[in-house]
Structure 1
Amino acid sequence: MLHMFSDVRSFRRDPLGFLLQKGNAAPLGLERLHLGPSPVMLVTDPDLIRPILKAPEHLIGKGRLIKKLTPVFGRSSLMLHGDEHKRRRAVLHKHMARGNVERYLPQMCAEIRAVGARIATAGTFDPQKYTAALALRTICIAVFGTQVISGGDEQALVRAVGLIEDDLADDMFRALPIGPVGWLRRRRRRTFAKLAMSTVVQRLRECAMKTSALRDLEELGLSDQDLRDEILTLLLAGHHTTGTTAAWVLYHMAARPDLAEAIAEEARRCSDPNGELRIEEVKRADISLNLVREVCRLYPGAWWFSREVLAPTQIGGRDLARGTSLLICPWQMQRDPRFWERPDEFDVNRRYFGDAYIPFGAGPRACAGMGVAMLELQLLALEMAAAYRFVGVAPNPAPWPKASVTLIPPPMAIRIEVRQGIAKEKTAA
């Protein structure tokens, strides 16, 4: 017999498998999950997503599941709603829109090449160990300007995120409180992580360009604490989701040498005589773009997000009470066989990405950093394929990712070698 906690054990043991099984087997609409005393409904119909996300905020808004992130993200735009959210989002959208970010293409490519050189020295590498810091540096270039964060700050921030992310993921759907010993350990980890993060944020504020998003946020009259929360959210959300997705981009190029070769040829077509990528050609580089789209389908950085019913309303023909959580899971919806042929198969030739494709959310609250992320991932594929040949990857096929705040890739070992033409150029130089 089902009871209010009957799904908790299955969810905590394997959240990805649980949501995939529940969602794919459920009728289109809303499927009740028994994860505690408060009702949680899994949204299984893509036609309901936009109505939910566009609903008036007095009916459906950010609820208790998202608010569990408050100890880390504070009063940032990720947590806010209403006019204050719109004010801050306008600033972020201005600086992270693809048209604005494209002017930093040379600097972004230079950072990717620098990481590629370090990887080539190792010969065999685990992509996750490199892509998180690369994504962090890229988001800093796009939003705050060049040369605003040091290598030491990068590593401090990446370590701080790793220290607390599993705790945050565990808190999301925890029905019962943890014991005093566990609570004390978590408090110590969060205190240490927040101190490291605050130090990085302060240094970034001192170095940011006058034309950066920071200056525009300051003009909104935000308090020092609100500015800190906003910057930290940009750094954490921007680098962590893209960094984990970037690891899968490299994995699939390594697992498909023919794909890597096709992207290498595409990179040559996109480059000027000096080997620099040209943005107008990158916009037409379909192979690398389709690789990024398909990776985002299989491994969405934000693998779930939620809303909460704030006043009695009706969704999908069902009456919902105040306090009902609506769980939207891109991981499940983007692997549902009702919307995708061979949903678990990597297929770079897919050409249809409809309403069931939501790796960056949808509607007015879609991820403001989508343009930055897509461009960065595409540049990563082009630059790495142009300079290096992928000669092996293990394990292949790779296991499923770990469900934390984002989808954490499993340990991988990718082997690369410098392309012969590149090696000759370096020798001549």
Structure 2
Amino acid sequence: MTPDGSTSIPGPRRGGDGLADIVAAGGLHNYQLRLHVEYGPVVQFPLPGAETAVSVADPVLLEATAKIDERPDKLFEFLAPLQESGNLQTIPAHEHTPWRRVLLSVLGGRRSHEAHFGQFVTLARGLADRWADAASHGPIAVQQDLSALSLRMMCEYALGSGLAAPEQADRVVSAFEDVLTEQLARLYQVDMPGTDEERGARARQALAYLRSVVDDVLAAHRADGAQHNASDLIAALAVAGQSPARIRDTVLMTMMAAHHTTGVAVSWTLYLLAQHPDTAERVADELTRVLGDRAAPGYADLKKLTYLTMVLKESMRLYPPGPYGAREATEDLRIGEYAVPAGTTLFYPIWAVHLNPEYWPSPEVFRPERFTAAESAGRPRLAYIPFGVGPRSCEGASLAMVEAELILAVLLRRFRFELTADHAVVPIERFVLWAADDIWMTLTPRR
């Protein structure tokens, strides 16, 4: 019992910064799962960069934190070198609110989704064609290719009509990969191609190139005025009066956020469907019923693919692309029986929330029917949070769902997927819930 009469938050004994325990568990995503199994829905634990960290895995208790619009600076400082206008992940609420409003007006809008949907279809079908050619030569590493596809989609979405030619889009994607490779190597201290100096030099050159491309697209928008495509992200930011530095940072951060998330969501879905062929055939039957003899859906068809949507949601419950999120308490909070002081680092252990057996019976079982309207109505609203919680949740959530459903529809219409028997699939944290050594699959064309 604490002096104010509240109960002390359970957790492991203090000693050190907790890094050794996190590493031993195989990453923070695994560590949080273990803590909640051992100590319950609210856990306090030591964490590098945070004097006190509290993790909340109960969706009802999470409601007390749902309006917080602050992230802990220390945990997101690794992104600061990529940004010129202040770290977009941690800018204060008075700056964040209007900036977020602009992003949602584009990323969450049907108009922009429809404007780019045709190009998304072309990109998805292009990947399917390449896979059809490669499938005869052996298994395919699907997660790597799908992440590259999601980056190409976001490149087209963010820069849109401002790109001079497809070759420029290819160079943008390559430059972004150089930046991301350096970030992964530094943050996770994993082996990456080249020396530290070589990677650093490539990343600096790539970042300068990406910023110059955004500047060129922005200049073209200002020259064209009202004629420029207002559904492009960069155009909307310019119309809203954002500074050139803020526009550059926003485009790069949006590409980074979208690079892996959509690709890994689709790859984990294919992984689960390969283990549940009856469910995969049910999806294929729905695609046949809705699409007839068409190879890809139109934008309006996505709403009719209700079972495909349930399958995607269930896969993101079991393998959320982002396994956790973080906030900083801006005032003293009461979370159930526990008092949490202002300044505390709060964790949303998304994976643990999604596996909470109180709200998800037999939580390890893949069962898309959990997302029927009847079953969904019986759960707290924060029981399912693949895109985060509150005012710092993902602005691109609806766009990500459009992309993922489209990609799955194209691929599942074209192929059957089977896991290779001799390859273990192990989830690890690499910004997102990645698969160590990828997910290798054998593809069989459908008739």
Give the stretch that moved more between structures: 61-70 or 400-409: 61-70
Percent sequence identity over matched residues?
24
Amino acid at match of 1:357: Y
1:42 Cα deviation (Å)? 1.0
CA contact (8 A) 2:296 2:410 kept: no
The Cα of 1:166 is off from its aligned counterpart by 4.8
Q: Which stretch shows the higher mean deviation, 1-10 or 326-335? A: 1-10
Moved more, 410-419 or 266-275: 266-275
* Equivalent residue letter for 2:93: G
Once residues 6 and 237 of structure 1 are traced to their aligned partners in structure 2, the CA distance between those partners, rounded to angstroms, is: 28
Partner residue, 2:141: 126
Does the 8 Å contact 2:215/2:244 carry over to 1?
A: no
Partner of 1:43: 56
Q: Does the CA-based 8 Å contact 1:263-1:381 persist in structure 2?
A: no
Once superposed, what is the RMSD of the aligned Cα atoms?
A: 2.8
Q: Is the 8 A contact 1:125 1:414 kept in 2?
A: yes
Counterpart secondary structure, 2:383: coil
Q: How does 1:73-92 map to 2 (within 5 A)?
A: 73=83, 75=86, 77-92=88-103
- Distance, in Å, in 2 between the alignment partners of 1:6 and 1:88 is 34
Partner of 1:400: 426
User: Kindly tell me: are residues 311 and 280 of structure 1, through their superposed partners in 2, closer, same or farther at Cα, counting changes over 3 Å?
Assistant: closer
Which of residues 44, 66, 70 in structure 2 aligns to 1:32?
44
Aligned residue for 1:197?
A: 207
Equivalent residue for 1:389?
A: 416
For 2:124, the equivalent position in structure 1 comes to 112
Task: Tell me, in whole angstroms, the C-alpha distance in 1 between the residues paired with 2:388 and 2:434.
Answer: 19
Alpha-carbon distance change, 159 to 308 in structure 1, aligned in 2, over 3 angstroms = same
Q: Secondary structure at the match of 1:39?
A: strand
Matching residue of 2:8: none
Of 102-111 and 138-147, more deviation after overlay is shown by 138-147
Find the aligned partners of 2:320 and 2:216 in 1 and give their Cα distance: 33
Q: How far did 1:125 drift?
A: 0.7
Matched AA of 1:165: L
Residue of structure 1 equivalent to 2:181: 162
Q: Is the 8 A contact 2:214 2:248 kept in 1?
A: no
Match of 1:402, SS state, is: strand
- 1:272–1:278 contact (8 Å) kept in structure 2: no
The answer (yes or no) to whether the contact 1:39–1:324 under 8 Å persists in 2 is yes
Query: Match of 1:41, SS?
Result: strand
Could you tell me how far apart the structure 2 residues matched to 1:285 and 1:275 are? 14
Aligned length in residues: 402
Per-residue CA deviation, residues 8-29 of structure 1 (Å, 9 max, x unaligned), is 322122223321111133333x
2:253 maps to 1:233: yes
Contact 1:245–1:299 at 8 Å: present in 2 too? yes
Q: CA contact under 8 A between 1:133 and 1:239: conserved in structure 2?
A: yes
Q: Deviations over 1:365-402 (max 9, x none)?
A: 22110011111111111111112233x21258953311
Distance 1:250 1:409 in 2: 13
Aligned to 1:347: 367
2:67 corresponds, among 20, 32, 54, to: 54
Partner of 1:182: none
Q: 1:377 corresponds to which residue?
A: 404
Q: 1:336 to 1:143 in 2, by over 3 A?
A: same
Secondary structure of the residue aligned to 1:346 is coil
Residue type of the alignment partner of 1:402: I
Structure 1 position 232, deviation (Å): 0.7
Output the CA distance in 2 between the equivalents of 1:240 and 1:48. Answer: 30
Inter-CA distance 332–234: structure 2 relative to 1 (3 Å threshold): same
Q: CA deviation at 1:294?
A: 1.1
Distance 2:233 2:187 in 1: 27
Alignment partner of 1:349: what SS? helix
The structure-2 alpha-carbon separation of the partners of 1:83 and 1:7, relative to structure 1 and needing over 3 Å to count, comes to closer
List per-residue Cα deviations over 1:217-240 (Å, max 9, x = no partner). Answer: 223443333222111101101222
Indicate if the aligned counterparts of 2:423 and 2:440 stay in contact, CA closer than 8 A. no
More displaced 10-residue stretch of structure 1: 10-19 or 315-324: 315-324
Instruction: Tell me how far 1:275 sits from its aligned partner.
Output: 4.2
Partner of residue 308 from structure 1, selected from 325, 328, 333 = 328
> d(CA) in 2 for partners of 1:61 and 1:153?
29
Q: Where in structure 2 are the equivalents of 1:255-270 lying within 5 Å?
A: 255-270=275-290
Q: Which moved more, 1:2-11 or 1:131-140?
A: 2-11
- The unaligned stretches of length 5 or more in structure 2 are 1-11, 219-227
Counterpart in the other structure of 2:152: 137
Residue 205 of structure 1: how far off its partner (Å): 4.5
Question: For residues 393-419 of structure 1, what are the alpha-carbon distances to aligned partners after superposition, in whole Å with 9 as ceiling and x for unaligned?
Answer: 125895331112111123222111332
**Equivalence for 2:108:** 97
Output the CA distance in 1 between the equivalents of 2:325 and 2:238: 29
Counterpart residue number, 1:277: 297
Asked whether 1:70 is paired with 2:80, we answer yes
The CA distance in 1 between the partners of 2:56 and 2:423, in whole Å, is: 30
Partners of 2:243 and 2:301 in 1: CA distance: 42
Task: Give the letter aligned to residue 32 of structure 1.
Answer: Q
Cα distance in 1, alignment partners of residues 186 and 134 from structure 2: 32
TM-score normalized by the length of structure 2: 0.81
Q: Is the 8 A contact 2:22 2:31 kept in 1?
A: yes
Alpha-carbon distance in structure 2 between the residues aligned to 1:43 and 1:383? 38
Q: Give the secondary structure class of the aligned counterpart of 2:346.
A: strand
Asked if the contact 2:52/2:344 (under 8 Å) is kept, the reply is yes
Decide which moves more: 119-128 or 346-355.
346-355
Give yes or no for contact 1:298–1:331 (8 Å, CA) kept in 2.
yes
Which residue number in structure 2 is paired with residue 328 of structure 1?
348
- 273-282 or 318-327: bigger deviation: 273-282
2:75 alignment partner AA: L
Return structure 1 stretches of 4+ with deviation > 6 angstroms.
185-188
1:137-170 per-residue CA deviation (whole Å, 9 max, x = no partner) reads: 2223334325835223213313431332253357
TM-score by length of 1: 0.84
Unpaired runs of 5+ in structure 1?
Answer: 172-184, 421-429
